[in-house]
Amino acid sequence: MTRVAVISLDEAIAEYVFDGATVAFEGFSHLIPFAAAHETIRQRRKNLTLVRMTPDLIYDQMIGMGCAQRLVFSYAGNPGVGLLRRLRDAVENSWPNAVEICEHSHAALANAYVAAASGLPLMIFRGYRGVDLPRFNPEIGKVSCPFSGEELAAVRAINPDVTIIHAQRADRSGNVLVEGIIGMQKEAVLAARHAIVTVEEIVDDLAAHANACVLPHWILDALCVVPGGAHPSYAQGYYRRDNAAYREWDSIAADRHRFQEWMNENVLEQDHTVFASRAIASREGHD
């Protein structure tokens, strides 16, 4: 097994996120890797298959900037605010390009990550009974239990080319600690061929208790120090969710022109170092 490389975020994205790749930027409400997504947008990646349980603002931005060819997801909303307007514009009006939809329920997509993390081609679960989605998604199948005869839902494993997550911290060997709401980060990393982790900081001692969610260095490829890299989502123990930014997004994304201006100013003309100050501003706004 190879040792994780501590490199800059732009190097990591350049090395592992290629045009046409299947990429999972994971993080369930917490620790969403916005800085890595913005770097991907700046590097003008195209035709990506974007996998994420909750597309959230991070994929609304990537879709609006034309990075995505396909979206694999299970809930596409701006939590507590409303719909994702750039995603809707792509799906309803093919702007800036048509985006193919591969839609799951949370249970199914979580199981698809579990399947891949477990090295299996599928996972089984009890779900999708009586509902319409399986008619539109060929990644959903059925399996009969050889013991009980019960028919269960099956979902094909999702093996991203690269999974990107944000975490609180790493130690000097590159072992990573994720704590609080841990979502699907471990599964998404283990499911992928390559993994990039951005962290708030590198420390001498992880100070992780025995059963914490720890990712050993030898399952990771690139480690990038990006303080504030999850803003406007949050990093428990570091800064809180910037709810105002989430609400504000609804009006920014409502208009194609305003969206593009905002992306120019806040993404294309910036680099990842801006996230540190955003997170500080968010912390000061809240405490």
Partner 1 sequence: MTDYTPVEMMTVAASRVLSSTDVCFAGVGPPSEACNLARVLHAPDITLIYESGTIGARPCVLPLSVGDGELCETALNTVSVAEMFRYWLQGGNISIGFLGAAQIDRFGNINTTVIGDYRKPRVRLPGGGGAPEIAGSCDQVYIIVRQSTRGFVETLDFVTTYGHGKGGSSRQDVGFSTAGPTLLFTDLGIWAPDPETRELTVVSMHAGVSRDQMAATVGWPIRYADHVEETPIPSGKELEMLRDLHARTCAAHQIHK
Q: Which of residues 172-211 bind partner 1 (CB under 8 A)?
A: 173, 175, 180-184, 186-187, 190, 208, 210-211
Question: Closest Cα partner for 219 from 201, 196, 246?
Answer: 196
Q: Which two tokens stand for residue 286?
A: 């809240």
Plot region of 94 (φ>0 → left; ψ -120 to 50 → alpha; else → beta): left
- Hey, which residues between 97 and 126 contact a copy of itself (CB under 8 A)? 118-126
- Shortest Å, Cβ 178 to a copy of itself: 8
266 near partner 1, judged by CB under 8 A: no
By the 8 A CB rule, do 259 and 84 touch? no
Q: Which is nearer to a copy of itself, 80 or 146 (CB)?
A: 146
Chosen from a copy of itself, partner 1, none, partner binding at 79 (C-beta under 5 to 8 Å by type): partner 1
- Shortest Å, Cβ 81 to partner 1: 8
- Shortest Å, Cβ 211 to partner 1: 6
Binding partner 1 by CB under 8 A: which of 118, 260, 266, 270?
118
Sequence-distant (≥ 6) Cβ neighbours of residue 164 within 8 angstroms? 17, 23, 24, 25, 26, 33, 36, 37, 195, 196, 197, 198
Q: Which is nearer to partner 1, 13 or 235 (CB)?
A: 235
Q: Which is nearer to partner 1, 18 or 246 (CB)?
A: 246
134 near a copy of itself, judged by CB under 8 A: no
- Shortest Å, Cβ 252 to a copy of itself: 33
51 near partner 1, judged by CB under 8 A: no
Q: Which is nearer to partner 1, 146 or 210 (CB)?
A: 210
Binding partner 1 by CB under 8 A: which of 9, 37, 41, 114?
114
Q: Are strands 100-103 and 151-156 parallel, antiparallel or unpaired?
A: unpaired
Q: Which is nearer to partner 1, 63 or 263 (CB)?
A: 63
By the 8 A CB rule, do 209 and 220 touch? no
- Hey, which residues between 143 and 162 contact a copy of itself (CB under 8 A)? 143-148, 150, 152, 154, 156-157
- Hey, which residues between 218 and 247 contact a copy of itself (CB under 8 A)? 236
Taking the chain, what is the end-to-end CA distance rounded to the nearest angstrom?
A: 43
Binding site for a copy of itself (CB under 8 A): 118-126, 139, 141-148, 150, 152, 154, 156-157, 179-180, 182, 209-213, 236
